[in-house]
Amino acid sequence: MTINRQSFWDQDTKTGLWRIVLEYQDKRSKALDKNNLKEESFREEIYQVKSQALAQIDQLKKQAVVNLEANGIRVFEAKDDNQARKIIEKLLEGKKRIIKAKTNAFGEIDQKGFLSDKNLQETDLGDFVISLLGEPEAHPVLPALHLSPAKIAQAIEKKYQKKVAPTAKGVAEFARGYLRKKINQAQAGITGANAITADGKIVVLENEGNISLVSRLPQTHIVVAGFEKIVPSLKEALMVVQASAIWGTGQDWPAYVSIIASPSKTADIANETVIGAQGAKEVNLILLDNGRSRLIEAGFSELLHCLNCGACLNFCPVYHQIGSHYGDKYLGSRGVVFAAFSASFKKAKSANCFACTLCSACLENCPAKIDLPELMRKLRTLLEKEGLQTRENEKMIANIRQFGNPFGKIEAGKIPKELYCC
């Protein structure tokens, strides 16, 4: 198995990426200081919050469903991506103009052709830009980090016949104007969730403000989230928010945090409750399994600590070379492991399971302390059982079995040519 030549990033992109990553690193420590947090103890707290929640996830999920529905939020549990798509299609029946904010869970269930009869508009600036250029996302928090303002401005000019200053500001201003119209006309909005509480609240963080608009302005709001987002209460949810901001973008707190507890309502007239005042009239939550139960059963539940902050990629040597070719629906090592359970072991192999050097830079940078290299190694034991090894590994193990070393027969005075080592 070899990685395709075209998969490698060019030097300029790599240099640009390093600049951003090192700036983030710096901002992260400042954000921790500003919040009076010690990196190690805060990571341990997040680890505890997530592992304790996962240990009782069935119960928390039941509570969440009961409490959300009592508040008027409809909850749908989707076993897999197919079911999730069907539910969404049903919810969007008769609706044509759909807006969407950043949601990785939607990306997880998305498929070519899905909602192609709709006018689906990305409203996150980064996602808007990559969909405009037809590029894959380069990073979960910074999807367009590999594209220069000049290149983006050019693409805008070509598509919308509009001159845009080739700067970050120019692009943002254009998007604000262009997207505002789409947002105002939309009939339904799709977002994700950063946390869901067992007592029935959906928590979403953002900087741009588009999530607030997408979740409030259209009549229908659809939230797509994995069930592992459920934590007991707002206390834990806000810790998740804080960690996501610090590790995701190096901010001490995001610009906005929405806590959605019910559809919009008013009782101003005759004290009679009317659902649907200025905000969304209908709130629907799709709770995804899509391999998560299998993952827990197989002993990989630590992966579900993930906050999707992307920090694991920032110092990953493989990501720095091949970007979105490493992983599947989610980028990097966590995406490889997730693919094994949401898609197939074969998929995990083609998502480059054997490209990981097990260097541990991801673990070191993960706010939830997910031991990704250990999960990756464990995943390889499963691939091995499925007969999905690489040719080189097969040679290596044959040598170990026969000669007690990975190189093969050692001839006196000679140095082995093929080095199958660790």
8 A C-beta contact, residue 85 and residue 109: yes
Query: Which entry of ligand SF4, another protein, none binds 355, CB below 5 to 8 A by partner kind?
Result: another protein
8 A C-beta contact, residue 243 and residue 46: yes
Select the residue interacting with another protein from 234, 259, 261, 400 (CB under 8 A).
400
| Residue 354 found at the interface with another protein (CB under 8 A) | yes
- Compute the C-alpha angle 81/84/86, nearest 5°: 110
Nearer to another protein, 308 or 314 (CB): 314
Separation between Cα atoms, residue 357 and residue 64, nearest integer Å: 39
Query: Which entry of ligand SF4, another protein, none binds 393, CB below 5 to 8 A by partner kind?
Result: another protein
Separation between Cα atoms, residue 85 and residue 281, nearest integer Å: 22
Cα–Cα distances in angstroms (integers) from residue 395 to residues 73, 418, 419, in the given order: 56, 10, 10
Query: Which entry of ligand SF4, another protein, none binds 384, CB below 5 to 8 A by partner kind?
Result: another protein
Q: Can you tell me whether residue 199 is helix, strand or coil?
A: coil
Query: Which entry of another protein, ligand SF4, none binds 334, CB below 5 to 8 A by partner kind?
Result: ligand SF4
Query: Which entry of ligand SF4, another protein, none binds 368, CB below 5 to 8 A by partner kind?
Result: ligand SF4
Nearer to another protein, 2 or 116 (CB): 2
Stretch 323-352 residues interacting with another protein (CB under 8 A) = 352
Query: Which entry of another protein, ligand SF4, none binds 258, CB below 5 to 8 A by partner kind?
Result: none
Q: How far is the CB of 199 from ligand SF4 (least distance, A)?
A: 24
8 A C-beta contact, residue 35 and residue 242: yes
Q: How far is the CB of 213 from ligand SF4 (least distance, A)?
A: 26
Q: Which residues bind ligand SF4 (CB under 6 A)?
A: 247, 306-312, 334, 365-368, 370
Stretch 264-293 residues interacting with another protein (CB under 8 A) = none
Select the residue interacting with another protein from 179, 306, 356, 375 (CB under 8 A).
356
Nearer to another protein, 262 or 393 (CB): 393
Select the residue interacting with another protein from 8, 114, 178, 345 (CB under 8 A).
8
Separation between Cα atoms, residue 352 and residue 325, nearest integer Å: 8
Structure tokens at 144: 């367009």
Neighbours of 215 (CB within 10 A): 25
Q: What is the DSSP string of 28-93?
A: HHHHHHHTT--HHHHHHHHHHHHHHHHHTHHHHHHHHHHHHHHTTEEEEEESSHHHHHHHHHHHTT
Q: Draw the binding track, 25-64, toward another protein (x: CB under 8 A; -: no contact).
A: x---------------------------------------
Q: Can you tell me whether residue 256 is helix, strand or coil?
A: strand
What contacts 24+ positions apart, CB below 8 Å, involve 404-412? none
The residues of the shown chain that bind another protein, judged by CB under 8 A, are 1-3, 5, 8, 14, 22, 25, 315, 317-318, 320-322, 352, 354-361, 363-365, 377, 379-384, 389-390, 392-393, 396-397, 400-401, 404-407, 410, 415-416, 418-422
